[in-house]
């Protein structure tokens, strides 16, 4: 598992996305047996000079953090992907670059996803948060819950809000970013920025020259300069899936792309599995709410995308949250990961049964999958009504939305 896992992140903006919507999606490819949980954290005020304990290190806390909902590997603090109350979505990709990632424990790329969501009210503000923390604390440490070897990676990010998207790619503390205001974009486990960079680390080019990776005379191409020599710079599975769509891209289009195993976007290999997925729809009309669909379970082709909307009183969903081991968690004790506790949450366990049925019993499996898709369709149609309504949704009704969807799904699995 030395290579970066082949995850994919997507965004479609008008005119490619339908009806003035921005549509965001990610498949999180991780080690097959890893559990992801979906967790909501309300906005919070923090005392002056307090610290926040990230996966491996503690850093200064800010006076106020935004409400967030995230999908994360259950053993760590950060997030693979998520959204905040201001309509900002962020996902990251582990990438291999010419410069090996540090094994020294620092901030993980996934910590920076959560920190960007907690501290940024726009995609650009979240980007500024991430690069500032990268400069101050660096990135490094094991990406997997693995006592036997350290798998460390550099990070790329897709940051999206109602107006625009940013692709941010990092090499150590150095970085480059591109702003996207229309059309479609995919990022995966390789560098994708080339000669169009809207912002960059002030010493990026000097550093590349000092390493002998750039002459200073050729046009500066970020991916060419910083990619490993054996990297074929081909993120085409995801790019093709998105670009070949002839119709306007909708939530359903994005879900279909994430479910596509033939293209390689939905990974199901010996080492890796798509352990969780997200699709978000961000209306450019600010009177409509942003809606975030999480699976909370592995393999989107056998999972239900369930909607979440931010309101003041969101009902927590313990069934989609993993057990908490506190200070006894082997991920928090050094040496780390000496044991692997059972991190499966109730939804994950119920879904394991469903996956087994779909895989083994043809008739029962087909019936179950049809029922699951019907359940999902009802949710999508209800959300379409909310988006097309001139009135904002009733907070009392949508506060329980994700809770009710998880509850209904589990009833079908029994």
| Residues taking part in catalysis | 9
State the Cα–Cα distance between residues 345 and 320, nearest whole angstrom: 6
How far apart, in whole angstroms, are the C-alpha atoms of residue 258 and residue 267?
Answer: 9
| CA distances in angstroms from 81 to 9, 196, 372, listed in the order given | 10, 25, 23
Closest CA to 133 of 60, 66, 200: 60
Give every CB contact of residue 318 below 8 A, 6+ residues apart in sequence.
345, 346
Chain-centroid distance of CA 123 in Å reads 14
What is the DSSP pairing of strand 64-65 with strand 44-45?
Answer: antiparallel
**Rounded distance between C-alpha atoms, residue 385 and residue 404, angstroms:** 18
Q: Which residue has the tokens 């106020």?
A: 64
Q: Can you tell me the distance from the alpha carbon of 224 to that of 46, in angstroms, rounded to the nearest whole number?
A: 43
């Amino acid at each position: 598992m030395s290579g970066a896992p082949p995850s994919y992140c997507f965004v479609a903006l008008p005119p490619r996305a339908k009806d003035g919507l921005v549509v965001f999606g990610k498949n999180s490819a991780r080690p097959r047996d890893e559990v992801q949980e979906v967790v909501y954290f309300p906005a919070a005020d923090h005392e002056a000079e307090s610290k926040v304990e990230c996966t491996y290190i503690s850093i200064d806390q800010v006076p106020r953090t935004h409400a967030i909902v995230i999908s994360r590997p259950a053993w760590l603090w950060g997030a693979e992907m998520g959204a905040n109350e201001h309509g900002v979505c962020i996902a990251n990709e582990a990438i291999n670059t010419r410069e090996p990632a540090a094994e020294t424990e620092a901030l993980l790329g996934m910590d920076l996803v959560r920190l960007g969501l907690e501290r940024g009210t726009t995609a650009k503000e979240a980007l500024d948060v991430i690069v500032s923390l990268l400069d101050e604390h660096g990135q490094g440490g094991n990406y997997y819950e693995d006592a036997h070897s350290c798998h460390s990676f550099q990070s790329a990010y897709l940051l999206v809000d109602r107006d625009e998207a940013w692709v941010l790619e990092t090499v150590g503390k150095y970085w480059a970013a591109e702003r996207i205001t229309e059309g479609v974009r995919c990022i995966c486990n390789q560098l994708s920025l080339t000669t169009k960079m809207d912002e960059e680390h002030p010493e990026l080019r000097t550093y590349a020259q000092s390493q002998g990776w750039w002459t200073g005379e050729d046009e500066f191409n970020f991916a060419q300069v910083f990619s490993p020599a054996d990297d074929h710079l081909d993120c085409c599975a995801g790019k093709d899936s998105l670009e070949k769509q002839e119709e306007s891209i909708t939530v359903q289009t994005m879900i279909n792309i994430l479910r596509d195993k033939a293209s390689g976007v939905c990974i199901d290999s010996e080492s890796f599995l798509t352990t969780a997925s997200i699709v978000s729809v961000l209306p450019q009309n600010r009177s409509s709410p942003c809606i975030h669909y999480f699976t909370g379970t592995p393999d989107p082709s056998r999972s239900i995308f369930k909607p979440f909307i931010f309101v003041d009183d969101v009902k927590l969903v313990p069934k989609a949250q993993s057990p908490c081991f506190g200070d006894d968690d082997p991920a928090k004790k050094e040496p780390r990961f000496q044991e692997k506790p059972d991190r499966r949450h109730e939804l994950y366990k119920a879904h394991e049964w469903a996956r087994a049925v779909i895989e083994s019993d043809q008739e029962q499996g087909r019936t179950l999958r049809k029922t699951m898709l019907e359940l999902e369709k009802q949710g999508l149609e209800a959300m379409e009504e909310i988006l097309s309504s001139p009135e904002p949704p009733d907070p009392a009704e949508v506060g329980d939305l994700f809770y009710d969807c998880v509850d209904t799904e589990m009833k079908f699995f029994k």
